[in-house]
């Protein structure tokens, strides 16, 4: 099967696992096994005729209940789990982050394991040396980078494992649930790095139980149930389908502050959308964005318009931008969008706060991230170009004091 770099294919993939317990190592096990007549439970069907094609540069989230076949799917794509029937393949260079500490030599230091993992993924020593400083800086392990990894906590394993996977610059990046172990700050940092790999054209397949992570990263969702694909489509509809499947109605990411529905006027809906009008929580500098609001008034609210304020804050809580509008209420409701033609922000994490009427505090707060761009630092995106000036255009020389 010849595939383009970044292309992924699963065709009628099936895989079953035996659940036979090995009881022959003890006298009790031998006696019980004989008394039961050697009856074994049937194999568990992890994948049932799964077909999926992912184009180069696509970002796909795989969701499902525990035991639905998510990790088995990634294991098959990574070439770790063989199929009973069907075909699978990934084009180009593949880097995986499937299990905490997988592929690490526990008596080796973090630095030595960077070289080991790079070699296991087919990178030469010189290629690893070009990346090792960035990997170590991203991991934030400090002097622990030269300590044997058997002394690492689960969070340190995640930091090192993800840092290696993120900076090997593969065509395909396969990531399992391990990101859930890291702290919130590092998770957000990982999601930003994933968005940068997406911008560079990498294909991402992410397994997670966190709908916020899936929504921020993926533009397509595959839902697995009992080893079979039951949905394959857009992220928003896929998450809604999954949450209905497991019996929860609210599939949307949770805001930091929920609306006070008892107020005379409140924000009943808040959503960020990208240039393709898709709900998103990760953006790129210079792209267009929309803030979509729904305002709801209580019966008897007499005003014809609703004063609404938007405030954008950086990760330290400082105000970056604030604006105010007065949308018209129709039948006690207003559905409006604030259009941003060019998002002039540089990489980082931001909060969007919304207040209505004359409320002293902001009623809704939601978060989003902007991917880091090379060659620019700070908050405001003022990138321009350098050019040589003619003699007539030079700045006047300041007088000598």
Residue of 88, 52, 81 whose CA lies nearest to 230: 52
User: Which tokens go with 115?
Assistant: 């070289």
Cα 360 from Cα 379, distance rounded (Å): 27
Using one digit for the tens of pLDDT, what is the confidence trace for 258-307? 455 667 788 888 888 888 888 777 788 888 999 998 888 888 787 888 88
Nearest Cα residue to 73 out of 62, 86, 59: 62
Those residues whose C-beta lies under 8 Å from the C-beta of residue 175, and which sit 6 or more positions away, are 96, 97, 98, 162, 165, 194, 204, 205, 206, 207
Q: Are 236 and 341 in contact (CB under 8 A)?
A: no
Query: Between 54 and 256, whose confidence is greater?
Result: 54
What is residue 387's predicted lDDT score, i.e. its pLDDT? 86
pLDDT at 397 over 90: no
Residue 186 pLDDT more than 70? yes
Single out the residue of 92, 57, 66 nearest to residue 77, CA to CA: 92
Tokens 């290696």 belong to 164
pTM of the predicted protein model: 0.60
| pLDDT for the residue numbered 363 | 60
Interval 91-111 mean pLDDT? 83
* Residues 215-271: tens digit of each pLDDT: 778 889 999 998 999 999 888 778 778 877 876 544 344 443 445 566 778 888 888
pLDDT tens readout for residues 358-395: 555 566 677 788 877 777 788 888 888 888 888 777 77
The sheet carrying 8-17 orders its strands as 44-54, 8-17, 85-90
Please give the average per-residue pLDDT across 16-41, as a whole number.
60
Where helices occur in 121-209 by DSSP H, the ranges are 125-139, 154-167, 184-199
Beta bridge partners of 269: 294
Give one word for 203, left, alpha or beta, with left for phi > 0 and alpha for psi -120 to 50: beta
The residue to which tokens 């990138």 are assigned: 383
Average pLDDT, the chain: 82
Sign of CA dihedral 62, 194, 2, 118: negative
| Percentage of the residues of the chain whose pLDDT score is greater than 90 | 25
The torsion of the CA quartet 296, 300, 304, 309, rounded to 10 degrees, works out to: -40
The DSSP code for 347 is: S
Q: What is the pLDDT of residue 76?
A: 92
* Helices H / strands E in the chain, number of each: 8, 17
Give the CB-side neighbour count of residue 165, counting CA atoms within 13 A: 32
């Amino acid at each position: 099967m010849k595939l383009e770099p970044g292309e992924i294919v699963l065709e009628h993939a099936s895989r079953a696992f035996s659940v036979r317990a090995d009881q022959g190592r003890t006298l009790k096990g031998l006696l019980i096994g004989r008394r039961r007549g050697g009856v074994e439970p049937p194999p568990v069907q992890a994948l049932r005729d799964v077909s999926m094609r992912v184009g180069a540069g696509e970002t796909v989230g795989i969701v499902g209940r525990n035991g639905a076949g998510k990790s088995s799917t990634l294991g098959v794509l990574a070439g770790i789990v063989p199929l009973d029937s069907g075909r699978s393949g990934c084009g180009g260079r593949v880097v995986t982050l499937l299990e905490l500490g997988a592929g690490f030599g526990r008596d080796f230091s973090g630095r030595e394991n960077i070289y080991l993992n790079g070699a296991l993924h087919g990178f030469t020593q010189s290629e690893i040396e070009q990346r090792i400083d960035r990997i170590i800086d991203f991991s934030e392990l400090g002097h622990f980078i030269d300590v044997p990894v058997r002394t690492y906590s689960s969070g340190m394993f995640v930091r090192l494992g993800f840092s290696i996977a993120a900076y090997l610059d593969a065509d395909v990046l396969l990531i399992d649930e391990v990101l859930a172990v890291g702290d919130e700050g590092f998770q957000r940092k990982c999601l930003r790095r994933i968005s940068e790999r997406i911008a560079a054209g990498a294909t991402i397949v992410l397994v997670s139980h966190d709908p916020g992570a899936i929504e921020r990263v993926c533009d397509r969702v595959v839902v697995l149930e009992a080893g079979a694909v039951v949905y394959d489509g857009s992220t928003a509809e896929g998450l809604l389908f999954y949450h209905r499947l497991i019996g929860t109605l609210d599939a949307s990411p949770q805001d930091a502050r929920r609306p006070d529905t008892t107020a005379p006027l409140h924000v009943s809906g808040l959503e960020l959308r990208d240039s393709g009008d898709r709900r998103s929580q990760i953006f790129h500098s210079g792209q267009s964005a929309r803030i979509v609001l729904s305002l709801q008034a209580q019966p008897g609210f007499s005003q014809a318009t609703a004063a609404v304020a938007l405030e954008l804050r950086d990760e330290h809580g400082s105000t970056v931008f604030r604006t105010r509008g007065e949308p018209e209420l129709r039948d006690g409701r207003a559905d409006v969008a604030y259009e941003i033609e060019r998002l002039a922000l540089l990489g980082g994490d931001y909060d969007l706060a919304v207040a209505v009427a004359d409320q002293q505090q902001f009623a809704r707060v939601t978060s989003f991230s902007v991917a880091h761009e090379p060659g620019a630092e700070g908050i405001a995106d003022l990138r321009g170009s350098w050019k040589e000036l003619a003699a007539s255009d030079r700045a006047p020389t300041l007088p000598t004091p």
